[in-house]
Amino acid sequence: MRKLAIAVAFAVLVTLGALALDMLLHAASGTAVTLDKFIIKTIITFATVALVAAIVGYGKVPGAVSAVVAALAFYIHAVIALPTIAFGQAAAFAIALGVAYWLAFMRVMRLKKTEKLSFAVTVALATLALHWGWMLFIVTLAGNGAALSFGMAAVVLVILFVLAFLATLLKSWWPGIVAGAVLGALALSFGAAWLDAVVRFVTFSGMYLLAYVIRGEA
């Protein structure tokens, strides 16, 4: 049961990290990120990474297999259901997934002594993807266009990274909760709604705790 829980936590972090990198690529290249693609990529990537981690295990080869299978599955789905995707986008997603897997496995999960920089990058990427998904949801409900520009996403990523890195300096789980509360307070001070601030607090704290749970587990 514990093995399955670790695999699920690992898959959540890898999936969201890959999605964040992929969405940054999309935003940098000026292609639109839509809510339906976000949801489908999340489902397909999470299923692939969680199944491979729970049934086969972790490592360089399982990571490469996860990246190829998830990207291929997304490409097959996109070609048949949403014929708007180029092969290059699927290949870029495979590379993004490989990078996220490498960060979460080689730099967070495998090391007994947590590597602070990689830990902070993993938490920041996963939180950014959740924030982006939340904003896509809001924007889609309102019927407007893009959720985040590349510049804005980069600024958010830097803020998340700094908060996560500062939290890792105190070697426990609670600094993650405090950093999440600081993020929520920052959002409120910049004029965000209460619900937005709560979402920021919950997503950041949740991702920090997940990364804290899987560190040194492999």
Partner 1 sequence: MSKAAVWSVIVAFAAGIIGSILTFVEPRLLAAAGLDVLTASDRILIGVLLLIIAAVAVYKLLTLVWEYEVPKKPSKSRKR
Q: How far is it, in rounded angstroms, from Cα 134 to Cα 153?
A: 13
Nearer to partner 1, 56 or 185 (CB): 56
Nearer to partner 1, 76 or 155 (CB): 76
Q: How far is it, in rounded angstroms, from Cα 74 to Cα 87?
A: 10
List the one residue out of 71, 82, 93, 68 whose CA is nearest residue 35: 82
Residue in 47, 117, 154, 218 binding partner 1, rule: CB under 8 A:
47
Residue in 1, 55, 141, 142 binding partner 1, rule: CB under 8 A:
55
Which one of 48-56, 152-160, 165-173, 190-198 is the stretch in contact with partner 1 (CB under 8 A)? 48-56
> Rule CB under 8 A: is residue 67 a binding residue for partner 1?
no
- All residues at 6 or more sequence positions from 5 whose CB lies less than 8 Å from its CB, including other chains: none
- DSSP for 30-79? T----HHHHHHHHHHHHHHHHHHHHHT--SHHHHHHHHHHHHHHHHHHHH
Nearer to partner 1, 89 or 127 (CB): 89
> Rule CB under 8 A: is residue 56 a binding residue for partner 1?
yes
Residue in 81, 152, 170, 195 binding partner 1, rule: CB under 8 A:
81
> Rule CB under 8 A: is residue 7 a binding residue for partner 1?
no
List the one residue out of 216, 153, 15, 18 whose CA is nearest residue 99: 18
Nearer to partner 1, 47 or 154 (CB): 47
List the one residue out of 54, 77, 56 whose CA is nearest residue 8: 54
> Which residues are near partner 1 by CB under 8 A?
40, 43-44, 47-48, 51-52, 55-56, 65, 69-70, 73, 76-77, 80-81
